[in-house]
Chain A
């Protein structure tokens, strides 16, 4: 595990090297991303799927890695370095490239929790003041503009992200997510992450 971590760190550093010409930049940059995010950008438990993600979201995240406002451990370890030399134009090009790739659902959550997760996603829980996720992320978790698509992302990635809001990471993000996710219980997080991993 530790070895995998250091290999990925090395790759992230390699990936941040600046190529010489503009034409080269694009192919090299894409390859640099797919080292960790997968050749068809379907992602893994650690590095999330980029395929079919909202382009404004990808672009925003690349900038926030650069500005160190997205500050959870994996971001610090891999993406701060990887995004350090990605200028705004390249960020936009990468974002629009990955947003057009077809996506597959990770399907790696707990099937038995999916129904409870769906109810929470769609309705929230008014008794405990939990808002509906669908109002912002869309009825089918498709996202819009800078609000990310969540449907089909890996259960492990979603669970980790939801937990990290509550641990105080990326508190500087200009969205209601710090307030929302920090109040989710571990069971609610399990259910949501499971449900979303199956959404196509």
Chain B
């Protein structure tokens, strides 16, 4: 029994190693030498965690592991164009070429870290209810409708599974001050704007706690 599960684990590890290698192969087609791209990936991971699992610095630094590539690329562009306000990420992103951004997104999409955890367990049940059913009385749609039943996201809609609860809390509390900052150029972040307003603070804390534990 033990031997079997060990073999399964080994196979899983090998699968991960091979898929990571395959992704690195793709990434090698970026417009920078492979060594330079590897250095850039390590630079991202200094803050976002060695497995892309996120990290709690002075600010919660989001998980990138398993994130949708289109979402990552969109956000990097939004930082550069100042549609998304974050001076740290502006600095990081403005030197990255489009091809490098694509390669970085592909790399992080391929990672599968365990959730960092740390959210109050007591909020999970209430969070799950909001995630799955929304709150019709206050005009909150089910998060699941767009982010998917497992919160994996799709295309430009982000994965929420395993995301740091404190990061999600800050983002939803601050949506109108950080996202869509060029009114003449509305972007996809506008979709979340009414919902971020309609959710109460405690609902945000609950739903953030729920998704943060999803694998």
Contact = CB atoms under 8 A, between A and B. Distances in A.
Interface of A: 122-124, 126-127, 129-132, 134-139, 142-145, 147, 176, 179-180
Contacts of B42: 129, 179
Interface in B40-93: 40, 42-43, 46-47, 55-59, 61, 87-88, 91-92
Contact of A126 (B47, B57, B92): B92
A131 B92 CA distance: 8
B95 interface: yes
B94 A126 contact: yes
Contact of A147 (B46, B47, B57): B57
B95 A126 contact: yes
Given A129-B39, A129-B40, A176-B55, A136 B95 contact: no
Nearest to A180: B46
CB-CB nearest 10 A-B residue pairs: A136-B57, A129-B43, A138-B58, A126-B95, A123-B91, A176-B46, A131-B46, A144-B58, A135-B57, A132-B88
Nearest to A123: B91
Contacts of A136: 47, 55, 57-58
A179 B45 CA distance: 10
A89 B94 CA distance: 48
A131 B47 contact: yes
